[in-house]
Amino acid sequence: MLKTIIAFIIIFGVLVFAHEFGHFIMAKRAGIKVLEFAFGIGPKIFGYQGKETLYSVRLLPLGGFNRFLSAEEIQAGRENGENLDISEQELRDHSFENKSLWRRMLVVVAGPIMNFLLGMALFVFLFAVFGVANPQNVNIIGEVSKDKPAAAAGIVAGDRILAINGVNTPDWNSVTAQIHAHPGEEMQFTIQKAATNEVVSLEITPEYDQQSKQGLIGITPSYTMEKVSVGQSIKYGIQRTIEFTRMLILYIVDMITGKVPPELSGPVGVGQVIHEGVQQGMSTLVTLTAVLSINFAVLNLLPLPALDGGQLVVMIYEGIRRKPLSAEKKGWIQLTGFALLIALMIAVTYQDIVRLITK
């Protein structure tokens, strides 16, 4: 359990730090003064005052923020007793609200972009160190997904699929051809068990997968790891990032349109996945961090208040009307979005706990 907690804190800390550093570095490039770069949320543990930025570490390492120079921040700081000696000239030249629309949008989008880059870098690292999985065209199962038909039927990694509905399946291509073509139909699987070499007959019904439009039972082929060059690792890392981002966007669209039921996970669900990753080893944890980083990037770009995507929508609206929204309206938008975000977090955390209890 201690290893899981440490891994949880490190993974989320890395994701949040990369995200906030993206905002920070782009703000610096845009000539915006950053009053504070905070790692973590809650009460401040310690901080270092740089030339113009306070670098602080907060109590809970599950978030972070940047305080950009603005009239609102100056007012809030003075109300909190901070001694902010900011001239009107500095406010005009280096405040967030006085920069052009495009520069402000770049600052906002830089956080998600940094998470995309982090995910890509981790995939490149994986391929460079561990190699590329090379699937074998044999009828031996490599991995079995939890809560899928194969797992429910008692199939485990290493089992061999000899036949399906009386049709011999000597290789993986013949296995998938049968499964993909019969979604929703009960099928007779002839399985040679890895542990005992005993041949058993199992009835399994493939699920219809909305994305691939075919039947699946939750199995993957066995594979060998093939060493690749650094150049190939970079190529595969970019491909994997694009591929996973595309899959995630399509899944979100399918959830919104009702094609697939919403399956969301909160901190408890993610913690359970990290716990399983800790047990499986370093390569699984690195893969999980890469996947979560890309998830973090895509979700932050959704056009919802309190997220980066919501801020982009507000900025685009201000650009179209050529007039900024009042601070009061922006405050209500942020407050509403934050309340919705908390409500959603509570709901998915409740679902996570129910799933854990009923397992």
Give CA–CA dist 65/61, Å, rounded.
Answer: 11
Residue 337 main-chain phi, psi, to 5 deg: -65, -40
Which residue, among 175, 133, 154, 114, has the nearest Cα to 308 in the 3D structure?
A: 114
The residues carrying an active-site annotation are 20
Give CA–CA dist 122/239, Å, rounded.
Answer: 13
The tokens 């959704």 sit on which residue? 302
Going from the C-alpha of 233 to that of each of 133, 228, 284, 285, the distances in angstroms are: 12, 6, 17, 18
Give the H/E segment covering residue 115.
helix 101-130
Query: Exposed, middle or buried, 200 (CB in 10 Å: 0-12/13-18/19+)?
Result: middle
Residue 355 main-chain phi, psi, to 5 deg: -65, -40
Paired tokens of 208 = 């219809």
Nearby residues of 115 by Cβ (< 8 Å), 6 or more positions away: 15, 18, 19, 22, 293, 294, 296, 297, 300
CA dihedral 263, 269, 270, 274 (to 10 degrees): -130
